[in-house]
Structure 1
Amino acid sequence: MKRIPVTVHTSDPLSETGILSFLRDDPTLEVLDREEPRTGGVAVVHTGRLHELAATKLRRLSRGSDQAIVLIADRLREPEMMAVVECGVRVVLWRQQATPGQLVEAIHSAARGESLLPPDLLSRLLAQTSLLYRHTLSDGDQRPTLGLSLREVDVIKLVAEGLGTREIADKLAYSERTVKNVLHAMMTRMQLRNRAHAVAYALREGHI
């Protein structure tokens, strides 16, 4: 039987030792050093919350390798859920519910290209996606990109160019109120503090 190559990524040495110990005992898995060159396999990423360092690690893994990703986390807020989706993570385990057997099952699911999400996370993700679609389609029959709607991307691109509300409205043939509503909805959903923060988010996530 061909074993599944697995790497483990966490900033917590104690957690890393525990995860590695029971993964190495499983005959179906081949645990590799995370810096070792590899093709395919599964990356296990462990974090409490999806802080910036963990999000950066997910983005690097999703863009720089062909490994499937299993994320172990304490919890995810709505903006963090969308970031996880954007990084291509399809298997998530809550840390407080993760047993060695569940983690091995999750690794096999990821290796087969399957999705595995906790029921409460799946429910919240579907609700967030539905909200995003309703917001987008209420402003016109457009399909959203992951994380930001197409209308939000159009608006934030012009904000990044230094245009004010009235200039954006004129350029996109919207009312000023619509521009303000689009920005407010985006910043509220993604928990962004102001327009500069929104531009930084859009740049970081590759929307502009």
Structure 2
Amino acid sequence: MLSSPRTSDTGVAAAAALGAAAAGTTIGTTVGSGLGGGLGSRRRVPVAVQAPDPISREGAVSQLRGRPEVEVREEVSAAAGTVALLIEDTLDEAALARLRRIVRSEGARAVLVVGTIRETELLDVIECGVGAIVWRREATAHRLVQAVLAAHRGDGDLPADLLGRLISQVGTLHRGAAGRPGAPSLGLAPREVDVLRLVAEGLDTGEIASKLSYSERTVKNVMHGLTTRLHLRNRAHAVAYALREGYI
């Protein structure tokens, strides 16, 4: 199990953008909650639980079933905006393949509930399109709902003890890529960098708009444009890209 690192405020904020810390919660929980909006009219978020055994699945379903924020479904449906909640003890190639299939083929947003995760698997999980991770030992009903709602919004939500490890790994990859001949050219416009830098600092849409003298619609359009153009899965993936390529 990864131990909790000591990180600077800046490091925590940047790593949080890959999957943690948000307005109204503690650092290391949810980031960018304002980007893309919340539930608005309090529509219940559909969630489908997938687990390697019936006991694990029923345990998660029983925790979610009584919560007014979510509605448990039997199957993942991208058209219905279903969030897939996947439960794994450990990650292996089969588990990563399931994540890729659900996010890329079925178009769903995903929450990973996992017992252990190696540092080398962190970016694999983020690049699969998973922005929310919950330790199995911390998987209370409140924590599961919090992660599901973050995933539904397209935000990130990571345990605090993964943040420093993740940003350290991204930095290592960036330094290695920068030293290689023929490294790919960067693909972010200055305005996109400005927005992503503020996302990494934990600002919501309104705060970013105010700081940059943009409308909130412009901020949302900037995020949508860059994630679409660069084929990024979500805001967590976008900030991971910006960190890896040396923008922020």
Q: Which TM bucket (shorter chain)?
A: 0.5 to 0.7
Amino acid across the alignment from 1:28? E
Aligned to 1:28: 69
Distance 1:74 1:34 in 2: 23
Structure 1 segment 160-171 matched on structure 2, within 5 A: none
1:93–1:64 Cα change, 3 Å:
same
Matched, 1:73 2:114: yes
Equivalent residues of 1:137, 1:143 under 8 A apart = no
Using structure 1 for the length normalisation, give the TM-score: 0.64
- Secondary structure in 2 aligned to 1:31? strand
- Runs of 4+ displaced beyond 6 Å: none
Which runs of 5 or more structure 1 residues have no equivalent in the other structure? Answer: 146-208
Cα distance 1:115–1:36, how it changes in 2: closer, same or farther (>3 A)? closer
Q: How many residues align?
A: 145
- Give 1:5 deviation, angstroms: 0.8
* Larger RCO (CA under 8 A, 6+ residues apart): 2
Give the secondary-structure state (helix, strand or coil) at the position aligned to 2:171.
Answer: helix
1:120 and 2:161 matched: yes
Question: Quick one: structure 1 residues 90 and 34, their matched pair in 2 at CA, closer, same or farther if it must change by over 3 Å?
Answer: same
Secondary structure at the counterpart of residue 101 of structure 2: helix
- Does 1:48 find its partner at 2:89? yes
* 1:5 paired to 2:46: yes
For 2:57 and 2:92, how far apart are their aligned partners in 1? 18
CA gap 1:90/1:5 in 2 versus in 1, 3 angstroms: same
The answer on whether the counterparts of 2:89 and 2:114 sit within 8 Å (CA) in structure 1 is yes
Residues 186-205 of structure 1: pairs in structure 2 closer than 5 A: none
Question: Aligned-pair distance for 1:78?
Answer: 2.4
Identity %: 37
Residue-by-residue CA offset, 1:46-71 (whole Å, 9 max, x unaligned) = 10111222111101011122321110
Aligned to 2:63, the other structure's residue is in SS state helix
Partner-residue secondary structure (3-state), 1:11:
coil
Quick one: which amino acid aligns to residue 132 of structure 1?
L
Matching of residue 19 in structure 1 with residue 53 in structure 2? no
Q: How far apart in 1 are the matches of 2:107 and 2:76?
A: 14
RMSD of the TM alignment (CA)? Answer: 2.1
Which is richer in helix? Answer: 1
Q: When the two structures are superposed, what TM-score results if normalisation uses the length of structure 2?
A: 0.54
Aligned residue type for 2:87: H
Task: Please say if 1:39 is aligned against 2:97.
Answer: no
Q: Unaligned regions of 5+ residues in structure 2, if any?
A: 1-41, 187-248
Q: Which amino acid aligns with 1:116?
A: D
**Structure with bigger gyration radius:** 1
